[in-house]
Amino acid sequence: MSHPSISVLDRGFVRLIDHMGTDLSVVNAARVSFGKRKEAFDPKDSELVSYLAEHEHTAPFRHAYLTFHVKAPIFVFRQWMKHRIGSDFNELSGRYVEFPEDEFFVPATFRQQAKVNKQGSEGEIAEAGRAQAHETYLAACRNSVTEYKKLIELGVCREQARCLLPLGLYSEVYWTVSLQAAAHFLHLRLDNHAQWEIRQYAQAVRDLIEPLFPESLKALMQAPVV
């Protein structure tokens, strides 16, 4: 079975593995309070979905779930895994598998530190330093992987040898999340204050959710709080 997938960065992807529910599931979860159920979604249901999101009646959105297979650099997952409420993660384990040689993220450009936002970046570094920055980055990543492989060859266990590997190393995760929690993730990680790399993943997540829950996601994203 083929699963919809979107390529992200140089080697990553977001792939939709499974989902439960539709926009109709959301309104039926709300209407059960009155002992009612519908078999088809109509324009009045769009109004109900908007009302639920606007007034923070979010429980019905937690009856819809999605499972994604994500390949991303570890530093991206460090940020992503802060979103624990309403979601679960299972990650590729460096204790079980040996990491390949070339599976690290290489930025297309190197940004300079922002002058106002202490945690952020802005613009590209000066042209004079771009080639050297690229070479330095690649050398550090390749050296760490080379030394990691040496430790493995010397008989050092994978769980210790992996300590040498860079944060730019790609890992893989299964992420199962409620629709409400996914929308909360999108609110924060599509914001311009979020790191550029995770914003690319957030956009891919949004692009995969929208065809499945068009009315619900639109309402949640328009709401001030999700």
What would the 3-class secondary structure string for the chain be?
A: CCCCEEEECCCEEEEEEEEECCHHHHHHHHHHHHCCCCCCCCHHHHHHHHHHHHCCCCHHHHHCEEEEEEEEEHHHHHHHCCCCCCEEEEECCCCCCCCCCCCECCCCCCEEECCCCCCCEEEECCHHHHHHHHHHHHHHHHHHHHHHHHHHHCCCCHHHHHHHCCCCEEEEEEEEEEHHHHHHHHHHHCCCCCCHHHHHHHHHHHHHHCCCCHHHHHHHHHCCCC
Name, in order, each residue with C-beta under 8 angstroms of 67's C-beta and a sequence gap of 6 or more: 16, 17, 18, 19, 174, 175, 176, 177
Output phi, psi for 123, to 5 deg. Answer: 60, 175
Task: State the amino acid at position 223 in one-letter form.
Answer: A
Q: Among all chains, which residue has been given the structure tokens 């070479």?
A: 135
Catalytic choice (111, 189, 199, 206)? 189
31 an active-site residue? no
Catalytic residues: 189
